[in-house]
Amino acid sequence: MRFLVLGPVGVFAGGRRITLARGQQRTILAMLLAGNGEVVTTDRLVDTLWGSAPPHTARKSLQSHVSRLRHLLLSMAPGERDPLESAPDGYRMDLAVHEFDAHLFRDLVEQAKLCSDPRETLSLLERAEGCWDGPAFGDLAAHPGLEAPARHLDQQRNAAAAERHETLLTLGRHDDAARALSRVVEAEPFDERAHGQLMRALVATGRRAEALATFRQVQTRLRDELGVDPSSELRGLHEHILRQDTESSVPAPPPNRTAELVRRSDPLLGRERDLETVGTWLRSASLVTLTGPGGIGKTRLAERLVEHTRDIWRDGVISCALAHVRDAEGVGGALITALAIQPSGGHSVTDALVSGLGDRHLLLFLDNCEHVLDAVTPHVEAIVDACPGTTVLVTTRERLHLRNERVWPVTPLDVPPENARPTDVTATSAGSLFRMRALAVDPAFRLNDANAGAVAELCRRLDGMPLAIELAAARTRALTPAALAQRLDQRFAVLAGGPRHEGGRHRTLEAVVAWSYELLAPEEADLFDRLAVFAGAVPLASVEAVCSAGHLPHTAIAGLLGELVDKSMVVVQRDGEDVRYRLLDTMRDFGLRRLEDRGLADALRRAHAAHHVTLAETQARRSRGPEEPEAAEVITRAMDDLRAAHAWAVAAEDVDTALRLPAALADEVFFRLRDEVTTWARRAVALAGAGDHPAHAGALATAAWGATSRDECERAVREAQTSLAEVEPGGAVALLALGALGTAALYQGRLAEVLALTDRQEVPAVALDDDFRLTYAWVCRVLGHLYRGETEEAAAGVPQLRRIAERSGSPTMRAFSRYCDGEVHLERDPDRATASLEEAVALARSVNNRLIEGVSLVCLASSQGRRGQVREALHAFRDVVVHWRQVGDHTHQLTAVRNLVELLAEMEADEPAAVLYGAVTSGDTPTYGLEAQRLTRAWQRVEERLGHETADALAERGQRLGVRRVGDEALARLDVLLET
């Protein structure tokens, strides 16, 4: 007897196909077949047949329907084994003895994947297609209980069809492929892979014009109906066809790297369909959300999707983990930091995100959003609406409920049947995961006839939840699967029976965590609880510093941590020699509740905050010398915990921690553009009693540095002057505040004041033996002279500046000295300037100094333009405009575009020069000195060629753009010029 669901639900018996009459028996058969050989509970069948208000006789009626169905099936194939089995809580179909068309289809597809001969592959895929007789489950496909399995099967059919078409192309059967694919694209107008295959087939048959028309059609549909552009692969194929002189050499799509990536890392078992479908969505959708309960594997699936699609995104992938964020302000700060953008004064975080992303083509991955969904959703909505090149991938326990959101529920793994043999266990993803994790902790573990049934029971009772299965498997080093199953029965007696809805899965997972926790030794359990205070992945040294106690000595932490890793309670993250440890979100929540119950939460949070204050202060000192690369990396990796420590300190009104953290990180704000630290500083100084604390002035100085980066120079002056008034002259904080005052004066063109302030900085810097601050004072001195037109004085200061920078050992200050050398010699000695600026960029990038990298790139672009390297200069200006857009620095963006206007005028590209001139002169940031002189000369040349009236009209158009759209306009103009 063969059961049929690949078309109308029915049975093949006695040499003929039998389709059951409409009615409850046919629905029951379909539900049992959708169960794929597993027990379908009585509750689920009742819900399916009668909905939320079943009659009081529902269970009795169900028994009657099942009895008649069994009799009908046996009458179709007399003498064959009864396929319908009863279980204590439901019914199942025995699909191990009887045939099932869905199994046959999948087996043929799997054989085709393993086949190396394309002709044999095609034969197998054609046989697989022959199993189908219409949409899965026929007219029952829309039934609420069958919609998901029907959709799953149809998606598998579509994937097999795509492989069949690819094989036809490989074999050179282009006409056959074109005919089949024409039908596919008509039925699936957004299927980009099918459109690409059709284009290749058409070109190969000499129908190049039709191939190009096919691209235009799908491009129009995607833009008009989904608001997105075709994928980079499809656009690349289109461009290749346009470039071809012959009509035969159209490239195949890039090889599928999925298998290679999976082989290189742990297998992601049971997620093939998820990877295929969601991977396709990411190529066309603007927002994709993975939903499901904690422990279901949303994050791991998303991470693998990022691996598989990374090459699609021209501007890469940006990840932002939000598990540790607890409020709306923290969400904004985390996003700003992840995207490395800089809000300008008066503009919201959402505005900064939209402006910073612009038309960048990238994937933004937001992980663990459920607890801050109200805060995340407005940002995502704005990005999706305003940034067509950005695709957002979200993991959360519930959807965002936004327009055009595509939601993929991440479901449990498939589980083995009862009375499973070893091969039955490993044929399922849950069973394979258990075996793999058990072997990881006990290489002697063997799955055999004696334990297969217990393993299968564990997988079923754990609802196929990956995290729960991993926790159970990790205990096999101490307990047999049978012993584990017995403990599971005792632990989950209260959970027996009932529908397996999402909430039930989540309760099961929480219970499994508790069960695994109870199996820990007392010292292991204590360390696990304490680890929950960390927000991110942390090194062993941090664990030892925060978690050691009298009964948990420093020397015991490493061994206990290793035990927790072995038992799957702690995750290890390795990046070369850097090894870190973290708790999964579900584990962290459990541990935090334990800390609260034990009355230890406040003490651990205080210890955590104190450790990270010390870390910030220590690494900040190291970052001002030759150890800057390592120190900057330590701070970068600790940002999740620094953020969590400061949020706790503000909530707990721990003024000491709240002030000292931002006070230590002023250089991170200015050089690495960590704008959220500016917000930390302002929140801290507003706390009650903050004004009396010694760190108040330092936090104010940090806020002042942040204000200069936000284009809030007046505020920077107020905050820096207040800071100076609170401290003794000549100290480190006074020196920091003077630097912020000098920077604000430099940005505003108050150059005499800049030079006076550098004199005030030099004496205390020398007295403190602080070559880092002394170098910065000389930077301001050289630039002050240069911008005043005192080029000889500026040039005379460069050798001393470079000597001090070298003595400091800081890559940041060495980069700054090279930048100043390049600026000073830009016209005097272009070759020297170029060499210095290129060195400045390399040094800045080595320590993620976004500020010096950007200003050096502007100078390089200008230098190329002045040396007549016009095309190279245009490309360089494009790069730097993108750089400032990414970091959201409008002040420096204006400087870049002013220099671009000079180049455009020299090229006689008068129309774009006039528009951009209007844009860069419309804001509040002044232009002065040599820059102002060059800009004025450029405008005069443009005005002479265009005529006063035309030039003014174009400039007025630029003024209407406003400062925030200068970058967008510059990129659009540059792209046109580079295409000609």
How far, in Å, CA of 530 to CA of 564, rounded? 12
How far, in Å, CA of 28 to CA of 41, rounded? 11
pLDDT over 90 (residue 520): no
The pLDDT tens digits of the residues spanning 608-640 come to 999 999 999 999 999 999 999 999 999 999 999
How far, in Å, CA of 587 to CA of 368, rounded? 13
Render the burial of 292-310: b for 16+ CB within 10 Å, e for the rest.
bbbbbbbbbbbbbbbbbbe
For 113, the 3-state DSSP assignment is helix
Split at pLDDT 50, 70, 90, the class of 264 is very low
Query: Given this model, what pLDDT does residue 267 score?
Result: 66
How far, in Å, CA of 853 to CA of 840, rounded? 7
How far, in Å, CA of 884 to CA of 961, rounded? 17
Query: Given this model, what pLDDT does residue 498 score?
Result: 32
Split at pLDDT 50, 70, 90, the class of 775 is very high
The radius of gyration of the chain's CA atoms, rounded to the nearest angstrom, is: 33
DSSP output for 342-363: -PPTT--HHHHHHHHHTT--EE
Q: Which residue in 849, 768, 765, 838 sits closest to 811, CA to CA?
A: 849
How far, in Å, CA of 899 to CA of 944, rounded? 19
The region of weakest confidence among 410-414, 659-663, 710-714, 889-893 is 889-893
Partners of 318 in beta bridges: 364
Q: Which residues does 655 contact at the CB level (< 8 Å), separation at least 6? A: 649, 684, 687, 688, 689, 690, 693
How far, in Å, CA of 358 to CA of 386, rounded? 8
Query: Given this model, what pLDDT does residue 485 score?
Result: 85
Split at pLDDT 50, 70, 90, the class of 227 is low
How far, in Å, CA of 380 to CA of 170, rounded? 41
The pTM assigned to this predicted structure is 0.62
What are the structure tokens assigned to 942, written together?
């443009």
Look-up: residue for tokens 């500016």? Answer: 678
How far, in Å, CA of 593 to CA of 616, rounded? 28
The region of weakest confidence among 89-103, 255-269, 525-539, 570-584 is 255-269
For 65, the 3-state DSSP assignment is helix
Q: What is the CATH number of domain 1-171?
A: 1.10.10.10
What are the structure tokens assigned to 249, written together?
């050499």
Alpha carbon dihedral 261, 262, 268, 272, in 10-degree steps, equals 90
Task: Compute the half-sphere exposure of residue 974: CA atoms within 13 Å on the CB side of its CA.
Answer: 25
Q: Are 456 and 425 in contact (CB under 8 A)?
A: yes
Q: Are 250 and 241 in contact (CB under 8 A)?
A: yes
Q: Which residue in 426, 154, 432, 452 sits closest to 276, CA to CA?
A: 154
Q: Which residues does 842 contact at the CB level (< 8 Å), separation at least 6? A: none
Q: Could you count the other beta carbons within 10 Å of the beta carbon of residue 520?
A: 18
Split at pLDDT 50, 70, 90, the class of 351 is confident
The pLDDT tens digits of the residues spanning 492-505 come to 432 333 333 334 44
Q: What percent of the chain lies above the pLDDT cut of 70? A: 92
Backbone dihedral angles phi then psi of residue 321, each to the nearest 5 degrees: -90, 130
Backbone dihedral angles phi then psi of residue 868, each to the nearest 5 degrees: 85, 5
Partners of 580 in beta bridges: 573
Partners of 85 in beta bridges: 92
How far, in Å, CA of 114 to CA of 129, rounded? 17
Q: Could you count the other beta carbons within 10 Å of the beta carbon of residue 212?
A: 16
Q: What percent of the chain lies above the pLDDT cut of 90? A: 41
Name the residue type at position 810.
S
pLDDT over 50 (residue 261): no
Output the CA–CA distances (angstroms, integers) from residue 641 to 290, 322, 334, 536, 548, in the order listed.
26, 12, 12, 6, 18
Sign of the torsion angle spanned by Cα atoms 161, 151, 435, 267: positive
The region of weakest confidence among 321-330, 600-609, 673-682 is 321-330
Q: Which residue in 80, 137, 132, 93 sits closest to 109, CA to CA?
A: 132
Q: Where are the beta strands (DSSP E) in 249-353?
A: 287-291, 317-321
Query: Given this model, what pLDDT does residue 244 score?
Result: 61
The region of weakest confidence among 433-437, 510-514, 567-571, 698-702 is 510-514
Q: Where are the beta strands (DSSP E) in 730-862?
A: none
Query: Given this model, what pLDDT does residue 501 score?
Result: 36
What are the structure tokens assigned to 736, written together?
């920091």
Query: Given this model, what pLDDT does residue 265 score?
Result: 41
Q: Which residue in 659, 711, 663, 668 sits closest to 686, CA to CA?
A: 659
How far, in Å, CA of 171 to CA of 707, rounded? 64
The number of angstroms, rounded, from the C-alpha of 328 to the middle of its chain's C-alpha atoms is: 19
pLDDT over 80 (residue 540): yes
Burial of 728 (0-12, 13-18, 19+ CB in 10 A): exposed
How far, in Å, CA of 706 to CA of 702, rounded? 6
Output the CA–CA distances (angstroms, integers) from residue 271 to 65, 375, 425, in the order listed.
35, 30, 17
Query: Given this model, what pLDDT does residue 559 score?
Result: 92
Query: Given this model, what pLDDT does residue 232 score?
Result: 67
DSSP output for 30-61: HHHHHTTTSPEEHHHHHHHHHTTS--TTHHHH
Output the CA–CA distances (angstroms, integers) from residue 412 to 206, 459, 464, 673, in the order listed.
48, 10, 5, 42
Question: Quick one: CATH architecture of 268-409?
Answer: 3-Layer(aba) Sandwich (3.40)
Backbone dihedral angles phi then psi of residue 205, each to the nearest 5 degrees: -100, 15
The region of weakest confidence among 26-35, 385-394, 720-729, 835-844 is 26-35
The pLDDT tens digits of the residues spanning 843-855 come to 999 999 999 999 9
* Mean pLDDT of the region 306-321: 87
Determine the length of the chain.
980
Q: Are 300 and 268 in contact (CB under 8 A)?
A: yes
Backbone dihedral angles phi then psi of residue 48, each to the nearest 5 degrees: -65, -40
Sign of the torsion angle spanned by Cα atoms 276, 278, 279, 280: positive
For 405, the 3-state DSSP assignment is strand
